[in-house]
Amino acid sequence: MTTRRLAVVTAGLSQPSATRLLADRLADATRRSLGRRGLEAGFDVVELRDSARELTDNVLTGFPPPRLRDVLNTVASADGLIAVTPIFTASYSGLFKMFFDVVEAGALTDKPVLIAATGGTERHSLALEHALRPLFTYLRAVVVPTAVYAASSDWGSGDSGGNGLRKRIDRAADQLSQLVDAKASTGPTDPFEDLTPFEQLLSSK
Amino acid sequence: MQFGIFTVGDVTADPTTGRTPSEAERIKAMVAIALKAEEVGLDVFATGEHHNPPFVPSSPTTMLGYIAAKTERIILSTSTTLITTNDPVKIAEDYAMLQHLADGRVDLMMGRGNTGPVYPWFGQDIRDGIALAVENYHLLNRLWREDVVDWEGKFRTPLQGFTSTPRPLDGVPPFVWHGSIRSPEIAEQAAYYGDGFFANHIFWPTEHYTRLVNLYRARFEHYGHGRAEQAIVGLGGQVFMRPSSQDAVREFRPYFDNAPVYGHGPSLEEFTDQTPLTVGSPQEVVDKTLTFRQHFGDYQRQLFLMDHAGLPLKTVLEQIDLLGAEVIPVLRNELDTSRPADVPDAPTHEARRAAAEVDHDSLVSDQNQTFEGTLR
């Protein structure tokens, strides 16, 4: 069985957090979906709270301390990414943004990404479309069409209405696994290995 | 092996007193630091070039010319000269002039600067940073080597029959280092010309710079200037010393905690662990500096940053005294004796002039032999 590695980035702050709960459900659904395609999946879950101080250091100094560097490498080398944030003040949380601010340029290029968010009420669900989707588009990731928003009330609702949380999770997970399946497993491009010879630099006027 | 000081030239408040030196004080302090460097036996003094507050050194050749008149031995250099926004013609003229006044004690380090708005202030576009560094340096390189230059490029007025004056001293252009903290293109550029490559090696982890230096070395060999181990590498470093390690940490901590570059982020202990910064006794500085060679191979120039973050002049001069008395003699002995014979020493004007004469003589004698051979 072929194996794919996916990174799950979650910016929930409390423990346990609804954001982590949603992230785990998305990962499980993606695992099942990839399994149906004959792919085995490994998941590396990144709790951004654990890197909060190192993220601040990185923003100030310009380089990641060792533990954060490992986390960034995990995300950069993953075959797919599930990114989940609580919605704070009409957008992704500051911690979530700080992480994607220090991800190396090009690390998410062409990477399949599933975006998801949690919030108190359904009124903030479009933050996924006006804040998260453009962020990942800027990073040149490929974002799946279904973004999953879970309001507090979703955790107590069934799927019989036709479009409950479980259905949305499964649909998004199928879309992600389809992209992960279709894409050959490749890491980010390395400018040191893709060097432009100097004669070419000189003549590119 | 050459050892020296490089200064950014920032005017920063001393966090322990809240006092900010005037520009005049800071400029005179930089001169005093250069004179102290020569006095204690260092080989190089290099100044940054900046065009915005809180930095004062906007006019490096003015400062270095003044220092040249007050010193006899120390090499005057830059860290860095903005090859992107300065006119390469003016760099060629200014530094050739300085070279004559300083009897050859001049080299330069090319860089692209750390302030985005400098590009538009000098009529350029930051997105052309690499292209400017490539084109401008190519012209500068020719202006110092060809008496009459015809030239046309993308970024400046064309030249027809232009001669940059004065010509380089003894026909030997100043040695050039190329400094970069992240661009493989600049390592490639340094390798192409067989120039030196300098990794500033102060604010980031060592591994970050080893990639650039390894690339430079490999490409130096690729372009036929010698083996990779023979490439000319310079490194930065940052230290704060007191005879006792605890005193050094206690005294430096407020400067570290409030430093413009890394203040209010990682702790002093984390930062010394993660980057080349050493805060401790002279012996600890020696030990840490000796690890650099393990990461980068035998190298030719080690510069130290000693005068930033608001450290008072008196403290900086004490630091340079310690460096000259207790650190450099040990490092010089270790690094010079362990360097293989076929790895070149750091470049000087005298050595480069002598090499140029040998090249010229062998060329002439080759021609004579051919001529005589034809006669016979």
Alpha helices in chain B (DSSP H): 23-39, 60-70, 88-101, 118-121, 129-145, 184-193, 206-222, 245-257, 268-274, 282-296, 313-322, 328-338, 349-375
> Is the pLDDT confidence value at A194 over 90?
no
Between A57, A195, A201, which is nearest B266 by CB? A57
Chain A residue numbers with beta carbons less than 8 Å from the beta carbon of B263 are 60
Q: What are phi and psi of B85, to 5 degrees?
A: -115, -10
With b for 16 or more beta-carbon neighbours within 10 A and e for fewer, the A8-38 pattern comes to: bbbbbbeeebbbbbbbbbbbebbbebbeeee
User: Which pLDDT score is estimated for A1?
Assistant: 61
The alpha-carbon gap from A158 to the nearest alpha carbon of chain B, in Å, equals 46
Q: Lowest mean pLDDT of A43-57, A172-186, B233-247, name the range.
A: A172-186
User: Which pLDDT score is estimated for B374?
Assistant: 39
Q: Which helix (H) or strand (E) holds B78?
A: strand B75-78
Q: Read off the pLDDT band of A189 (50, 70, 90).
A: low
Q: Read off the pLDDT band of A161 (50, 70, 90).
A: low
**What tokens does B284 get?**
């600890």
Which has the closest alpha carbon to B176: B196, B191, B199?
Answer: B196
Chain B residue numbers with beta carbons less than 8 Å from the beta carbon of A66 are 274
User: Which pLDDT score is estimated for B18?
Assistant: 97
Omega prior to B312 cis, within 30 of 0: no
Between A66, A192, A198, which is nearest B189 by CB? A198
Which has the closest alpha carbon to B64: B11, B37, B23, B102?
Answer: B102
Architecture per CATH, domain B2-345, reads as: Alpha-Beta Barrel (3.20)
User: Which pLDDT score is estimated for B117?
Assistant: 94
CB-based contacts of A48: which residues, under 8 Å, 6+ apart?
Answer: A9, A10, A11, A55, A95, A96, A99
User: Which pLDDT score is estimated for B373?
Assistant: 39
| Mean pLDDT, all residues of chain A | 93
* Contact yes or no for B185 and A196 at CB 8 A: yes
User: Which pLDDT score is estimated for A130?
Assistant: 97
The residue-averaged pLDDT of A90-101 equals 98
CB-based contacts of B346: which residues, under 8 Å, 6+ apart?
Answer: B1, B2, B43, B232, B300, B301
Phi-psi region of A59 (alpha: psi -120 to 50; beta: other; left: phi over 0): alpha
User: Which pLDDT score is estimated for B229?
Assistant: 97
User: Domains in chain A, please, with CATH?
Assistant: 2-203 (3.40.50.360)
| Sequential DSSP letters for B173-205 | PPEEEEE-SS-HHHHHHHHHHT-EEEE--SSS-
> Is the pLDDT confidence value at A49 over 90?
yes
Sheet holding B75-78, edge to edge: B75-78, B44-47, B2-7, B301-304, B233-235, B196-199, B175-179, B107-111, B81-82
User: Which pLDDT score is estimated for B69?
Assistant: 98
pLDDT tens digits for range B185-213: 999 999 999 999 999 999 899 998 999 99
Using CA atoms, how far apart are residues A202 and B116, in angstroms rounded to an integer?
23
Longest CA–CA separation in chain A, Å: 66
Q: Which helix (H) or strand (E) holds A173?
A: helix A165-182
DSSP, collapsed to helix, strand or coil, labels residue A134 as helix
> From the first residue on, what is the mean pLDDT of each consecutive set of 10 residues in chain B (376 residues)?
96 97 98 98 97 96 98 97 97 98 98 90 95 97 98 96 98 97 95 97 91 97 97 97 97 95 93 95 97 96 96 98 98 93 96 90 59 40
Among A63, A192, A200, A203, which would you mutate to test the B interface (most chain B Cβ atoms within 10 Å of its Cβ)? A63
- Where are the domains positioned within chain B? 2-345, 347-376
The alpha-carbon gap from B204 to the nearest alpha carbon of chain A, in Å, equals 6
Query: Is B209 in the A-facing interface, judged by CB distances under 8 Å?
Result: no
* Contact yes or no for A204 and B208 at CB 8 A: no
Using CA atoms, how far apart are residues B267 and B269, in angstroms rounded to an integer?
5
Angle at B132 between CA B128 and CA B133, to 5 degrees: 120
User: Which pLDDT score is estimated for B370?
Assistant: 46
Q: Are strands B301-304 and B233-235 parallel, antiparallel or unpaired?
A: parallel
Chain B residue numbers with beta carbons less than 8 Å from the beta carbon of A106 are none
* Contact yes or no for B265 and A61 at CB 8 A: yes
Q: Read off the pLDDT band of A183 (50, 70, 90).
A: confident
